Amino acid sequence: MNKLMVVTGGTKGIGRAILEKFAAQGFDIVTCARRLPDLLTLKEEVERNYKVKAFVQVADMSDKAQIKSFVDFINKLGRPVDVLVNNAGYFVPGQVTEEPDGTLEGMMEGNVYSAYYTTRGVVSSMKANKSGHIFNMCSIASIKAYPNGGSYAISKFALLGFTKVLREELKEFGIRVTAVLPGATKTASWAGSTLPDSRFMKPEDVAEAVFSAYSLSPHSVVEEILIRPQLGDI
């Protein structure tokens, strides 16, 4: 039987690139997104192109009840999760002293609690098998404050902290935990930008880095993947 990976928010951008990279290596895939048409298209394309199974469910990962529903969907497959990529999240620019009330709460729900509750929901099978790899999609904003980063940066700092805690808690179970900190990557988040493509990383480059970290022997772990555009941060 194929290994199983879970990617939250896997229909676009970095999540989609990671999903396809692992599917090309024979992994069955579980993913979620907010739009059913996008999920059905992904399922059809992945199963056709890579000859693996793709399991999909609609879920808004900023909603705790929908996270639980997605976790139940995963667990009902009756298969251990070999790789979990907590990729779901979103960005709203602003300043912490000026942004609307509720911005911080929304960022924490979408960017931190989504990873927290998904991990808690699926990690038991990893512990039982004493194996697995968890990747949390952090950001350059996890280590570097910048103007107009607002509550997004706060949430990404928190996600990196969560990742460090997980690493310490899970290493005795043989579970590897990696923080991925990409800089500006050409995804829908940058739609409308007038900057040339040369200023951005490709999602596929992040996917290659993630798969390379996964491919190490169980004796080693890449704790953080820090990857920036060659021409520097934007």
Which residues are the active-site residues?
152
Q: How far apart are CA 23 and CA 21, in angstroms?
A: 6
Q: How far apart are CA 181 and CA 159, in angstroms?
A: 11
- How far does CA 125 lie from the centroid of its chain? 19
Please give the span between the terminal C-alpha atoms of the chain, in angstroms, as a whole number: 43
